[in-house]
Structure 1
Amino acid sequence: MDSDLGLRLREIREWRSLGLRACAELSGISYGYLAKIERGEKPVNSRKLLEALANTLRVSPNELLGKPYAPTDAESGGIHSALPVIEDVLTGWWVGEIPQAQGRPWPVVQADLHRLERELRPKADYAAQAEMLPGLIRDLLALVGSGEHRRAALLGLLSAYKTAAYLTHDLGRSGLPTLAVERMRQTAEELGDPHHLADVSWRRAQLLSGSNRRRQYELASGVAGTTGTPEHMRGMAHLTAALASAVLGDEGVALDHLNEATALADATETDGRPYRPSDFCGSNVGIWRVTVGVELGYGAKVAEIAESVRPSEVAPHRQAVFWADLGRGLLSDRKSRAQGLAALLRAERLAPQKTRANPFIRETVSSMLTAARRDAAGRELRGLAWRMGVAPAG
């Protein structure tokens, strides 16, 4: 069974009139490996490979992936239909402009913000986030404009825009994450707090398109090295710089940034306001080490890194990232494939919508289908593939 990515890759390559061997050489992989990717026998299992292929074919990584993915059920259909509405509210109003519709009272808006920050975002409930965000942003803009509860409304608006940025990034809606970050910057300027502006700066780097890793590294390392920036923000910037370095193939620089982040995590104490402790802590740094290790090609050896990580100390969506990336690493070795599949299923239980939208998990699962036997593991794999929309049921 050909993967969707493999089919798109072949179609774009042929449309560019680029031969298989030339495309492989320009992308830094072998002719045989590219042929297997196009046939769905091998996955595109790293950002580095995805972006190399996208650069060779002169398309965006999301175009090669086919993001945002077509809905596979009512829940994902609701997310899909909400994206244009989120786009409308992001493009329709700048911070300081007031929507004409009558907004809801502050206590109701405040309750939605509490639910967003304490429940929907930690669980990566994309469907509920997508349903809530357009109305919530309009209400907060109205409250800011009216002057009532202005500072609290601005803090809420910053949170809502941040949610929109990560939601649209994970779903692959090109352009919207950058626009949401710009709205965050406007909000932070209205607040007049340099710490909020620093927070926006590292998130801008983290959410930058995968087609511009060098710029991502430049932005992230700049924040990490800025004197006066709170340590947890510098730490997150170091983690972003580590991933960018790994994608660029510079293992030494990536490990240096990880070590800097570890040192900051060891020295940092946070009270959770206005930033959740799970945004930057030793356990989260450990999860990033696993992610960077997979990107650097450590394969099943990332299990050695994972042994020291305590994922239960962070939010469910970060726990899901840990199990997903550990699973991807384990699945690269035939001997540990059962454990790898179990890790992916655990990630799906923790944050189903986030896990199913992960392109590298989708690629890994799709490429495994043809090799799956009709045993218990094979049924579990086919079930996961069906829920992701990468294979029919049965």
Structure 2
Amino acid sequence: MDIERAHIGRRIRELRKWRRMDQQAVAGLAGISTSYLSRIERGERPVTKRLVLERIAAALRVSPAELTPEIDLVTDDAGTETHSAMATLGDLLGGWWVGEVPDAPGRPLPQVLDELARFHAARNSGGAQAAGDYATQVATLAPLIRDLLVAAADPQLRREALPPLLTAYHVAGSISARLRIPGMPSLAADRMWQVAAELDDPVWHAVSQWGRALFLSGTNRARQYDLAVAVADQAPADRAETRGMANLTAALAAAARGDGDLAETHLAEAAAVAERLDSDTSPWPSGIMQFGRTNTAIHRVAISVELGHGARVAEYASSVRTDTISRGRQAAFWVDYGRGMLTERRTRDEGMAALLRAEQLAPQQVRTNVWAREAVTGLLGTGVRAARGRELRFLAWRMGIAPTG
């Protein structure tokens, strides 16, 4: 079965031929078998680990982002609005440095801070409340950033406006990373660094450096790991959340490089930090970290999948209290849990149910998730019993993954 625009294998084959490399050469450089690479290229095996994706990308001398198929968001009015909103946000991030004043006058700062607080609360809600789709979120976020830039240029308002501006930049980077907008996550991280420099505060400097490490992602795992470890070692102890999140970022970077022992070390350090907090999910800093016991457990599930533990993720998943964290983080947990359960035939139904639950929580996030798409693509090529088969085909259709033969 061929899956239109869905499997990474087609892009790998195109780039391999463009490089004039045979499968044996690419497989050897990536540390996988030629038969495995051949099945990936034919769409018979999904790519289920960051390690495999990034090694193949390195063998082809491209960014991992070059291997993931573009997702056509412009299939309805919501998709068109998302592109338009991201263009507006990109112009704002690229056109104005911290300290410069946008053309439009700003609204009163108390009004702006109240609206930003409600925006963060909606994004972090674990219940029925939600911040809306990406277009809605960006449409709310862009004018808030503009207003905060205006306030930050006022000497009397500067200290009050800068920390919320840093959190708003982080959200911009997070959304653009999920939508895979090239360059925008790094630009958002750069703006976070500028805010931290203006504040001249070690607490916010550490937050900005963690954001830099987080948004670096698969483009350079070794560098991501080094940056995250530096934050984990140097962040002020009075805001332990930053140290905890930096350890989680370092753990995922280590797992993506295939170093399970190092990943476990950083997970243990993050867990120790989380145990010292009063709640399962810390509200600091507003809207961006959600560090605590729940987030650490969610990362443990994700890292277990990366390390190839398969259905054993159920052991770690049992400790996750999803009700204490945002719908977006819940959806990420269910995607990773589903990926793990799908590796074995006996737990495949449970894995399918997990993907459906993730989609119910955050449909747009799941649709743009590379690993969710690969999991669905892989399922389409297997024998799934009739009832689940119908659910799977409808899920694939909603994600824009369509069988062509």
Do the aligned residues in 2 keep the contact of 1:37 with 1:43 (CA within 8 Å)? yes
- 1:149-202 Cα deviation digits (max 9, x unpaired): 433322221121011111111111121111111111111222232111111111
Partner residue of 1:58? 61
C-alpha contact (below 8 Å) 2:302/2:336 kept by paired residues:
yes
What TM-score do the two structures reach when normalised by structure 1? 0.94
2:332 matched to 1:321? yes
Opposite residue 363 of structure 1, the aligned amino acid is E
Residues in 1 aligned to 2:121 and 2:101: alpha-carbon distance in whole angstroms:
27
1:157 pairs with 2:160:
no
Q: Distance in 1 between matches of 2:83 and 2:387?
A: 32
Report the Cα offset of residue 84 of structure 1.
Answer: 2.1
Is 1:112 paired with 2:109?
A: no
Tell me which amino acid in the other structure corresponds to 1:218: D
CA distance in structure 2 between the partners assigned to 1:374 and 1:296 by the alignment:
28
Q: How is 1:81-120 mapped onto 2 (pairs within 5 angstroms)?
A: 81-120=84-123
C-alpha distance 22-273 of structure 1, shift in aligned 2 (>3 A):
closer
1:1-394 equivalences in 2 (<5 Å): 1-2=2-3, 3-67=6-70, 69-120=72-123, 122=125, 123=130, 125-147=133-155, 149-226=157-234, 228-229=236-237, 230-269=239-278, 272-275=283-286, 279-373=290-384, 375-391=386-402
Gaps of 5+ in 1: none
Is the Cα–Cα contact under 8 Å of residues 54 and 218 in structure 2 kept in the other structure? yes
**How has the CA–CA distance of structure 1 residues 107 and 275 changed in structure 2, closer, same or farther, with 3 Å as cutoff?**
closer
Cα distance, 1:43 vs structure 2 = 0.6
TM-score by length of 2: 0.91
Distance 1:65 1:313 in 2: 32
Q: CA deviation at 1:216?
A: 0.7
Kept in 1, the 8 Å contact 2:85–2:138? The answer is yes
CA contact (8 A) 2:235 2:243 kept: no
Question: In structure 1, the residue corresponding to 2:354 is in which secondary structure?
Answer: helix
2: CA distance between counterparts of 1:386 and 1:101? 42
Matched AA of 1:45: T
Matched to 1:23, the amino acid is V
CA distance 1:277–1:377, change in 2 (3 Å): same
Change (3 A) 1:277 1:180: closer
Cα distance in structure 2, aligned partners of 1:227 and 1:199: 8
Q: How many aligned positions are there?
A: 394
Q: 1:207 Cα deviation (Å)?
A: 1.4
CA distance in 1, matches of 2:263, 2:57: 22
Q: In 2 relative to 1, CA 51–359 (structure 1 residues): closer, same or farther, beyond 3 Å?
A: same
Equivalent position SS for 1:208: helix
Alignment partner of 1:45: what SS?
coil
> Measured at CA, do residues 304 and 149 of structure 1 come closer, stay the same or move farther in structure 2, by a change above 3 Å?
same
What is the DSSP-based 3-state SS (H/G/I as helix, E as strand, rest coil) of the residue aligned with 1:225?
A: helix
Question: 1:67–1:130: structure 2 CA closer, same or farther, 3 Å change rule?
Answer: farther
1:255 shift after superposition: 0.5
Q: Percent identity?
A: 48
Q: 297-306 or 97-106, which moves further after superposition?
A: 97-106
CA contact (8 A) 1:386 1:392 kept: no
Question: Quick one: distance in 2 between partners of 1:237 and 1:357?
Answer: 25
CA shift for structure 1 position 373: 4.7
Report deviation, 1:33.
Answer: 1.2
Query: Relative to structure 1, is the Cα distance of residues 312 and 153 closer, same or farther in structure 2, using a 3 angstrom cutoff?
Result: same
Name the CA distance, whole Å, in 2 between partners of 1:69 and 1:257. 37
Following the alignment from structure 2 to structure 1, what is the Cα–Cα distance between the partners of residues 244 and 152?
A: 31
